[in-house]
Structure 1
Amino acid sequence: MEHQEEHLESSAWLTDIVIGMSDGLTVPFALAAGLSGAVSSTGIIVIAGIAEIAAGSIAMGLGGYLAGKTEIDHYNSELKREYREVEQVPEKEKEEVREFFENLGLSKDIQQQAVEEIAKDKQKWVDFMMKYELGLDKPDPKRATKSAMNIGLSYVVGGLVPLSPYFFIDTPVEALKISVVVTLICLFIFGYFKSRMTGIHPWAGALRVMLIGAVAAGAAFGVAKIFE
């Protein structure tokens, strides 16, 4: 019978969605809850919520872009350094390759044979050093742009969930009640899949994410009522 691995692999795309959706569900939810305790018009909440979603998605997207760009710049910088070291101190680099195979438990003859084979091709040699010495995989050159789009759009989608009842209900408190139910359900579902992806117990993770959102919204609503 063929063996199949059951590990859930997290892609960069899923990571971006988790980042954007997590803040998108929580921050506008807390803002809408806080305003519901301070104003009497859902129109104000809708305008403020849309403004926050726009600003938040841009800020989060920009953060994702800069993180992706930094990853690419770091890889390219290390790549140039490895090429330079292979050319200027090849024996030192060969010794590092040999030590890698030694740590795998290979015999000295096999170690030497593997080193000489890898050193025949400079590009493969550098790629080997990048991956196994530095632990760096070649990043997608479009990673920064993709990350910005994924995070920004996820933030918008997440932010519209708690804000949506305010589009259809005139009374802020009544809209908040619907928003609380809908958003907490979404937070629970989101937390469940996020926890599965990261290897955490899904039910415990889902409950934790939901409680964080509830506490944030409750605190915002309470503070607004106090200052009102």
Structure 2
Amino acid sequence: MAYAFWHYTTAMHQVAHGSQTSQTPHVEGHFESSAVVRDIVIGLSDGLTVPFALAAGLSGAVASSHIVVLAGLAEIAAGSIAMGLGGYLAARGDAEHYVSERQREEREIIERTHDEEEEIYEIFEQYSVDRSSAYPVLAALKQNPTAWVDFMMRFELGLEKPAANRAVRSASTIAFSYIAGGLIPLLPYMIIDNNGEALKLSTIITLLALAIFGALKGKLVGTGWLRSAIQTTVIGGIAATVAYALARLLNASHV
């Protein structure tokens, strides 16, 4: 946010003073799809762990791989719908919250102009910018009420405008990621009749998938592929182990 604040206020300062630059614009490549990555992480991580735990738990209770596969597919279908719906409702809630807060800010710059001006100065004070230096930016913002509201939404409330159709895209991304993740631990049961051997292979490919997924995520967001791979594998492995242990415990209690 500090970079965005500097970039925004520098641009507004240039507008206020009518200054222009003849230099070639400097374009930086920043990763801007964090919301999509978050949805993929949510869908894939749950898709990899929950069906794996279900299949592992059933492996000790039934002898037929066919039953394990059917139960796993049913869980994937139900889980993807539930996760997708949750993502849709969460994104809709974020969008409605943004609209509500923006309407409030639009009213306040008209009805409580002085208070909003003071809030501008307070924002700049957080970055050690005094009132005299901040005044030209404030004056420029007052000439453009839409930009003023945009500034307050971003730097006072920390809210970014949700992308169009964000709710639908979030729901579909989470749902399809869940399906993709869920099919991985079930593959061994589709090709191997022995549940014990299928469980071993399922464990290996699930952990491998978690590692690959973590590495790709780390490379995309710039946190380091190795660190992200280890972190994702450990966390996913712990979650799968706990879920597997609970499933076996419940199976044992009904025997």
Name the aligned partner's letter for residue 27 of structure 1.
V
Q: Does 1:202 align with 2:215?
A: no
Identity between Structure 1 and Structure 2 (%): 49
Instruction: Tell me the distance in 2 between the aligned counterparts of 1:218 and 1:4.
Output: 51
Q: TM-score, normalised by structure 2?
A: 0.79
Q: What does 1:1-228 correspond to in 2, within 5 Å? A: 11-194=34-217, 197=221, 199=223, 201-202=227-228, 204-212=230-238, 213-221=240-248, 223-225=250-252, 227-228=254-255
Following superposition, the deviation at residue 183 of structure 1 comes to: 1.4
Specify whether residues 174 and 101 from structure 1 end up closer, same or farther in structure 2 by C-alpha distance, changes over 3 A only. Answer: closer
Following superposition, the deviation at residue 116 of structure 1 comes to: 1.5
Following superposition, the deviation at residue 222 of structure 1 comes to: 5.5
Following superposition, the deviation at residue 7 of structure 1 comes to: 8.1
Query: What's the counterpart of residue 6 of structure 2?
Result: none
Following superposition, the deviation at residue 112 of structure 1 comes to: 2.2
Q: What are the Cα deviations for residues 108-154 of structure 1, in whole angstroms up to 9, with x where unaligned?
A: 33222221111111111111111111111111121111000000000
Instruction: Tell me the distance in 2 between the aligned counterparts of 1:4 and 1:91.
Output: 36
Q: Which runs of 5+ in 1 are unaligned?
A: none
Indicate conservation of the 8 Å contact 1:191/1:209, yes or no: no
User: What SS is found at the alignment partner of 1:186?
Assistant: helix
Following superposition, the deviation at residue 165 of structure 1 comes to: 1.5
Instruction: Tell me the distance in 2 between the aligned counterparts of 1:4 and 1:90.
Output: 35
Instruction: Tell me the distance in 1 between the aligned counterparts of 2:250 and 2:30.
Output: 44
Instruction: Tell me the distance in 2 between the aligned counterparts of 1:198 and 1:80.
Output: 35
Following superposition, the deviation at residue 105 of structure 1 comes to: 2.9
Indicate conservation of the 8 Å contact 1:32/1:49, yes or no: yes
Specify whether residues 106 and 72 from structure 1 end up closer, same or farther in structure 2 by C-alpha distance, changes over 3 A only. Answer: same
Report how many residues are paired: 226
User: What SS is found at the alignment partner of 1:40?
Assistant: coil
Q: Which runs of 5+ in 2 are unaligned?
A: 1-25
Q: Which has the higher contact order (CA 8 A, sep 6+)?
A: 1
Instruction: Tell me the distance in 2 between the aligned counterparts of 1:110 and 1:4.
Output: 26
Specify whether residues 198 and 27 from structure 1 end up closer, same or farther in structure 2 by C-alpha distance, changes over 3 A only. Answer: farther
Specify whether residues 223 and 187 from structure 1 end up closer, same or farther in structure 2 by C-alpha distance, changes over 3 A only. Answer: farther
Instruction: Tell me the distance in 2 between the aligned counterparts of 1:187 and 1:217.
Output: 16
Q: What are the Cα deviations for residues 38-71 of structure 1, in whole angstroms up to 9, with x where unaligned?
A: 0111111111111100000000001110110011
Name which of structure 1's ranges 152-161 and 196-205 shifts more when overlaid on structure 2: 196-205
Name which of structure 1's ranges 192-201 and 212-221 shifts more when overlaid on structure 2: 192-201
Instruction: Tell me the distance in 1 between the aligned counterparts of 2:27 and 2:150.
Output: 29
Instruction: Tell me the distance in 1 between the aligned counterparts of 2:114 and 2:78.
Output: 53
Following superposition, the deviation at residue 10 of structure 1 comes to: 5.8
Q: What are the Cα deviations for residues 62-91 of structure 1, in whole angstroms up to 9, with x where unaligned?
A: 111011001100000000000111111111
